[in-house]
Structure 1
Amino acid sequence: MLYQIYETNRAWISPFSEFASAASKLYSNPLSAFAQVPQAQRVSAGFDLVHRLTKEYEKPEFGINKVTVDGTDVVIQEQVVLAKPFCRLLRFKRFTDNAKLLGTMRDQPSVLVVAPLSGHHSTLLRDTVKTLLQDHKVYVTDWVDARMVHVDEGAFHLDDYVNYVQEFIRALGPDVHVISVCQPTVPVLAAVSLMASRGEQTPLTMTMMGGPIDARKSPTAVNNLAMNKSFEWFESNVIYRVPTNYPGATRRVYPGFLQHTGFVAMNPDRHRESHYDYFLDLLRGDDDSAEAHRVFYDEYNAVLDMPAEYYLDTIRIVFQEFSLVNGTWEVRNLKGVPELVKPADIKTTALLTVEGELDDISGAGQTEAAHDLCSGIPASRQKHYTVEGAGHYGIFAGRRWREMVYPEIRDFIAANNKSAKVRKAA
């Protein structure tokens, strides 16, 4: 019922949001008579802020049209490699007329970026993808909003997530390098572990960034909520059915608007100050700062619904039973047969873990715990990196990502990509 009430309220407030947008332009356009009245700029800024606080935020585009490779601009085309009911595997294919550069790009490593399915769209990793494209062939998982998936497609569990990741790895081949950001560190580790246990070829490297491999270590507010509430509480209080105005009508989901409320509630003062600063920037005519605010919140406020089965599985397996680190997690394969996840079976995949010193989502040591689990990987092919001064988002976006984290990942991939070629030649 809450979802229906939310949709009714959204439909009711939408005309007022559009009116606020039009009024803001009316009081700011130099050709408008209203722009000449006293305090017009303040009125325009007020209406603009009201519009942004009440508008509906659609899924953003990646918008990566070109990148620089070896000092030369190359064109990017976004392609769908595989389409599954709950996820699309995207490739950001690079094009150039420079024959020498084309040869260089063909020899560069392939990277699969597994984006989180935890409320925001995969476009949250735009900066991650754009930076990686300088030296790699890049693929990314683009998760579908559950409210857009018809109920005939069936349920989507954490097991299905693991099976999706394995299918994507097989499609790209064993020479791929996998990077998981936040939530997917757990299912990616499970996927590679199961492949290793079956004797399949596994990726050359796994890079795990800011994820809850062992959520018992340095628990954050996110961990405490999941651990202190019962499984039944989550099932009763955050799971609702999609209204009839969406393709996924009647599907059980954890709605995006509830997730967004939780995101904001974690740091309400910071968001309040950010919006007030935006208002002041509009008054001052600081267009660059105002646009930076819009870009951030266009992404931050765009959320998706998560399948209820997947969300509840994650709460239980990752944050309450700690099944991965306790060695009790069984994943059902495509045939429905349960298989025990054994990270120690991974032998040939190099492991890099990355944590932010100030991460308030995944606490210190949670991601690094992967090294103890992956005891079959030689110590010489394992590495951990803590990013000084970085919070959760800083390890995959922004200046610290580009200047501190990316060089570590690039060099780790290059070193293990080279060693793999040497082994094959021998």
Structure 2
Amino acid sequence: MLYLMRNSYDQMLAPMRVAAEMARTACENPFSPLSYAPSSRAVAASCELFERATRTYPKPAFNLPAAERVVWERPFCRVIAFGEPSSKPKLLLVAPLSGHYATLLRGTVAAFLDTHQVFITDWADAKKVPLVAGRFDLDDYIDYCIAVFEALGPDLHVVAVCQPSVPVLAALARMEAEETSLVPRSAVLIGGPIDTRRSPTAVNRLPQEQSIEWFERHCVYPVPWPHQGHGREVYPGFLQLAGFIGMNLERHLTAHWDMFLHLVQGDGDSAAKHREFYDEYLAVMDLTAEYYLQMVDTVFIEHRLPRGEMRHRSEIVDLSAIRRCALMAIEGEKDDITGIGQTRAALDLTPNLPASKKAYHLQISSGHYGVFNGSRFRAEIVPKIVAFMGAQAEGCSGSANQP
């Protein structure tokens, strides 16, 4: 019922959003006498904030100075390549499947365009995937990773941002155990919850306080009509967004009040930056229920990967099998989602990987978002990632089998 109520709420407010937009236009258009009233800017600002606070945000575009090509596709994911095939080293960014779209990594993609041929996983919004497409769970996620690694290989480098660190590491372990020749040369894990028992955050503590049945009862709902995936059980993106906002409610309230003041004062540049950030931040997608519940249970409740108990298609995920794929772990000092040590655990759990193939970087004064985006990421983290991948690519042709 919650999803249906949310849809009804959105539809009921649609006429009010139209009215607010008309009022804003009347208060801003220089040909309208209302625009010369003393309070016209305040009224226009109020109308814009109301419309933005109640709308459903669509999937953003990457809008990068590089052509986009789809080079791999299945019902729940497609892989986008930026630019034309080239002899640059191949880099796959595995975007989080945790509520936001892959466009959240727009800045991450842009940071590597000059040095690499960049690909990214563009995960599908579960509410738009028809039931006939079947299920998508954690095992399927790992299967997708292996299939993409093999399709883009050889000599592929991988960067997993946050949540995908777990399935990417599991996929690498399974490929190494099966001794496939297409295992990536390196994998960089950024702010990933490999072992959430280390420096637990508020995000990590909640699952420890509840059972998996609680999450199933309170976080899973069927997609209502008229969405393409109506009838599919999902974890709605609006619930995830509510959780994110609730963690930093005061910060978001302050940001919107500042936006109001910028509009009243005529500070268009600051208002534009606010719109750009929240157009991305408030655009969310649904996750399949089976995937969401498995991630919560495996990663945050049972800690199966660091305990050596995680399985993929009934086969144990043995991290000691990783011997060839170099690993780099990156963490943020002030990360309030993935605590210090949780990502570095990957280096401790791979005893048979030579020390020369391991690297670690702790970004001082950086929060979760800052370890994969922003000026400090570009200036301090990207050069370290590029140098690490370059060291692992010695002796590789770099131009074989370009997709």
TM range (shorter): over 0.9
CA–CA distance in 2 between the matches of 1:229 and 1:389?
A: 31
Alignment partner, residue 19 of structure 1:
19
Are 1:177 and 2:177 an aligned pair? Answer: no
Deviations 1:288-310 (A, max 9, x none): 11000000000000000000000
* Aligned residue runs from structure 1 range 94-105, under 5 A: 94=84
Are 1:80 and 2:70 an aligned pair? Answer: yes
CA–CA distance in 2 between the matches of 1:223 and 1:420?
A: 40
* Aligned residue runs from structure 1 range 67-146, under 5 A: 76-94=66-84, 106-146=86-126
Among candidates 373, 376, 382, match of residue 349 of structure 2 = 373
CA–CA distance in 2 between the matches of 1:81 and 1:292?
A: 32
Alignment partner, residue 71 of structure 1:
none
Deviation of the 1:393 alpha carbon: 0.2
CA–CA distance in 2 between the matches of 1:322 and 1:25?
A: 53
**Which residue type is aligned with residue 216 of structure 2?**
E
**Which residue type is aligned with residue 52 of structure 1?**
R
Alignment partner, residue 103 of structure 1:
none
What TM-score, normalized by structure 2, do the two folds share? Answer: 0.97
Please state whether the residue corresponding to 1:42 is helix, strand or coil. helix
**Does the CA-based 8 Å contact 1:45-1:279 persist in structure 2?**
yes
* Aligned residue runs from structure 1 range 260-279, under 5 A: 260-279=241-260
**Which residue type is aligned with residue 226 of structure 2?**
N
Deviations 1:60-90 (A, max 9, x none): 01111x2xxxxxxxxx111111111111111
Alignment partner, residue 316 of structure 1:
297
| Of 122-131 and 339-348, the range deviating more from structure 2 | 339-348
Are 1:361 and 2:337 an aligned pair? Answer: yes
Deviation of the 1:43 alpha carbon: 1.0
Alignment partner, residue 61 of structure 1:
61
Are 1:163 and 2:143 an aligned pair? Answer: yes
* Structure 1 gap segments, 5+ residues each: 67-75, 96-105, 333-337
CA–CA distance in 2 between the matches of 1:190 and 1:12?
A: 45
Are 1:213 and 2:194 an aligned pair? Answer: yes
Which fold has the larger relative contact order, with Cα–Cα distance below 8 Å and residues 6 or more apart in sequence?
A: 2
Alignment partner, residue 400 of structure 1:
376
Please state whether the residue corresponding to 2:370 is helix, strand or coil. helix
CA–CA distance in 1 between the matches of 2:176 and 2:288?
A: 28
Deviation of the 1:94 alpha carbon: 4.1
Deviation of the 1:18 alpha carbon: 2.2
RMSD: 1.3
Please state whether the residue corresponding to 1:224 is helix, strand or coil. helix
CA–CA distance in 1 between the matches of 2:267 and 2:386?
A: 36
Please state whether the residue corresponding to 1:160 is helix, strand or coil. helix
Alignment partner, residue 34 of structure 2:
34
Alignment partner, residue 7 of structure 1:
7
Deviations 1:226-272 (A, max 9, x none): 12111100000010000011010110000111111111111110000
Aligned residues: 398
CA–CA distance in 1 between the matches of 2:99 and 2:248?
A: 16
Deviation of the 1:37 alpha carbon: 1.5
CA–CA distance in 2 between the matches of 1:366 and 1:386?
A: 12
Deviation of the 1:122 alpha carbon: 0.5
CA–CA distance in 1 between the matches of 2:176 and 2:154?
A: 12
Please state whether the residue corresponding to 1:222 is helix, strand or coil. helix
CA–CA distance in 1 between the matches of 2:59 and 2:180?
A: 36
Deviation of the 1:420 alpha carbon: 4.5
CA–CA distance in 2 between the matches of 1:264 and 1:17?
A: 22
CA–CA distance in 2 between the matches of 1:378 and 1:84?
A: 35
**Which residue type is aligned with residue 175 of structure 2?**
M
Alignment partner, residue 170 of structure 2:
190
**Does the CA-based 8 Å contact 1:204-1:420 persist in structure 2?**
no
**Does the CA-based 8 Å contact 1:90-1:140 persist in structure 2?**
yes
Deviation of the 1:174 alpha carbon: 2.6
Distance 1:408 1:151, change over 3 A: same
CA–CA distance in 2 between the matches of 1:110 and 1:312?
A: 33
Please state whether the residue corresponding to 1:418 is helix, strand or coil. coil
Among candidates 239, 242, 245, match of residue 220 of structure 2 = 239
Are 1:226 and 2:207 an aligned pair? Answer: yes
**Which residue type is aligned with residue 11 of structure 1?**
Q
CA–CA distance in 2 between the matches of 1:24 and 1:258?
A: 30
CA–CA distance in 2 between the matches of 1:181 and 1:137?
A: 18
**Which residue type is aligned with residue 88 of structure 1?**
R
Please state whether the residue corresponding to 1:165 is helix, strand or coil. helix
**Which residue type is aligned with residue 38 of structure 1?**
P
Deviations 1:385-423 (A, max 9, x none): 00011000001111111111111111111121125569x
CA–CA distance in 2 between the matches of 1:283 and 1:162?
A: 50
Please state whether the residue corresponding to 1:325 is helix, strand or coil. coil
Deviations 1:364-383 (A, max 9, x none): 00000000111111101111
Deviation of the 1:182 alpha carbon: 0.2
